Amino acid sequence: MKPIQVPFQILEIEDLGELSPEEQKLIEYSRNMTDNAYAPYSGFFVGAAILLENGEIIKGSNQENAAYPSGLCAERVAIFSASANYPGVKIKTIAVSARSDKHLVDYPVSPCGACRQVLVEYEFNQKESIKLLLSGISGKVYLIDKVRDLLPFSFTAEDLG
Ligand code: THU
């Protein structure tokens, strides 16, 4: 047997000034978008902002429902909206932020497994990496170069033949 190592790197950014003005803006948008979340059941408000290669910015927030599984995470609201409105336009970066009415989220939140699966398919299709900027409502940011880093050995359309 032989181990297969999967390299994974997160860039931890304490000083947001180290990011480009465009990236800083995207984080600001995702943090502001937490105000648009409809999250009466969890009290966990998530915002997402996507930068497309054509310069458009598409935003999303989590939308819950009394029938709990009918709700959708902010990342999927944003990326489905991006694909629905700008089909075929490549996604450069997605910023995700969250806050809670129960505790201070001053640390980066990570996309759930279902969102990783959805994000990785768009990355795979466009043959270009999608950068992630993860943060809480305040505090440090995690920069991850590509979605597939968050979902190694993923199941893709290729497996279906
Ligand atoms: N949520 C997101 O919007 N994105 C994530 O990556 C994690 C979870 C939402 C779903 C639900 O509305 C609430 O946060 C609590 O799970």
Residue 112: what pLDDT? 98
Contact 134, 126 (CB under 8 A): no
The pLDDT score that the predictor gives to residue 133 is 98
Does residue 53 carry a catalytic annotation?
A: no
Q: Are 31 and 135 in contact (CB under 8 A)?
A: yes
CA of residue 3 to ligand 1 center, whole Å = 34
Tell me if residue 71 falls in helix, strand or coil: coil
- Selected catalytic residue, list 18, 22, 28, 75: 75
pLDDT of residue 89: 98
- H or E element in which residue 50 lies: strand 44-52
How much is the pTM? 0.97
Tell the residue nearest (CA) to atom 6 of ligand 1. Answer: 111
* Residue recorded with tokens 């993860």: 134
Which domains, and CATH codes, for the chain?
Answer: 11-153 (3.40.140.10)
Angle between helices 74-85 and 113-126 (to 10 degrees): 30
